[in-house]
Structure 1
Amino acid sequence: MQYQVGKSGRIVVARFTDGEDIIGGVSDICRKENIRAAYFSIVGGIRRGRYVVGPESEDMPPVPVWRELSESHEATGFGTIFWYEDQPKLHFHGSYAKGDSVKGGCLREDSETFLVLEVVITEILDVNAVRELDPDSGMVLLTLRS
């Protein structure tokens, strides 16, 4: 295990409206505000999204198992933001519910708001954290630099 101790910086409260891109919008905020490390929470509605529910097996590199949301769902979740090269890279796990059906997973693509979605981003200061390509997994993972 590795860790660093930082402190909270700015807090950004955002309201996404119907049809807006969630992942793209959070990334845009981080670019505009130069937020290099953060965590965020969401609550609200999601209309569409592609998410990963785990690898097919324990073999490396992992092969993701994809699922799709294709209609409105209630959504809540937590994520982190650290930069990979010159872009903010989000890692978000959420729960998505419609009626009695509840799904969960890592939202990665095609995220679209249904009606309204609230996002709270908390900047993390005084850490040296980025995402780097991990050769074993082929994934872009958190790296703590000294």
Structure 2
Amino acid sequence: MGATTLVDRIEAVLDKKSNRVVGRLMKDVDLFGGIKEVCRRFDIQAAQFQCIGSLRHATYVQLEKTSEGVLQYTPKIVSDTEVELLNGTGFVGYDLNDELDVHFHGMFVDCHKQIYGGHFLDGENPVAITIEFILLPVENVELKRGPDQLTNIPVFQFAEKE
């Protein structure tokens, strides 16, 4: 039996009537990488998605306020155990380099029975058992990262497709 590839570890089906994609990511697939692969497979340019499941660890950041009152993100936080993703919601669009990009927030419980959540990081959230998802493509909307007018932090900008 040969080695499995990323494509072999993703199940995804398009419901043509609702134009929604449902499926699951299997063990060791990165959460963001798997969602981006599904988007490429179904030629999805912009979407909202939800998911639940388990991760070998969660890698995320949270907001914090500096002593000067400025909002910033914490240094990267990595859970010390596997986690059950209780709720996860995100958007798919394009980054400043025109590559598929995911913005995702999730809440999870770890093996110590502690609940945490935050802004998850790309490439650092491998599936433990399964992640089940639904992707809701939007056809006439462009999601592209750009600097926020007030904070200059790159965030998704929402516009009608031309």
The interval holding the TM-score normalised by the smaller chain is: 0.7 to 0.9
Give matches, 1:81-96, under 5 Å: 81-84=92-95, 85-96=97-108
State the SS of the aligned residue for 2:138.
strand
The equivalent of 1:107 in structure 2 is 120
Amino acid at match of 1:105: G
TM-score between the two structures when normalised by the length of structure 2:
0.73
Is 1:120 matched with 2:106? no
Query: Cα RMSD between the aligned structures?
Result: 2.2
Aligned to 1:73, which of 46, 60, 83?
83
Say how many residue pairs are matched: 137
Q: Does the residue aligned with 1:71 lie in a helix, a strand or coil?
A: coil
1:18 Cα shift?
Answer: 1.5
User: How far apart in 1 are the matches of 2:113 and 2:58?
Assistant: 19
**2:61/2:77 contact within 8 Å kept:** yes
Does residue 19 of the first structure (1) align with residue 51 of the second (2)? no
- Name stretches of at least 5 consecutive residues in structure 2 with no aligned partner: 1-17
Query: Residues 91-143 of structure 1: CA distance to partner in whole angstroms, max 9, x if unpaired?
Result: 11101102430001011141111111111111012223322234764532121
Displacement, 1:56? Answer: 4.1
The structure having more radius of gyration, on CA atoms, is 2
Asked if 1:49 corresponds to 2:62, the answer is: no
Which whole-Å CA distance do the structure 2 matches of 1:17 and 1:142 have between them? 28
Q: Secondary structure at the match of 2:141?
A: coil
Question: Conserved in 2, the CA contact under 8 Å of 1:31 and 1:87?
Answer: no
Q: CA deviation at 1:50?
A: 1.4
State the percentage of identical aligned residues: 22
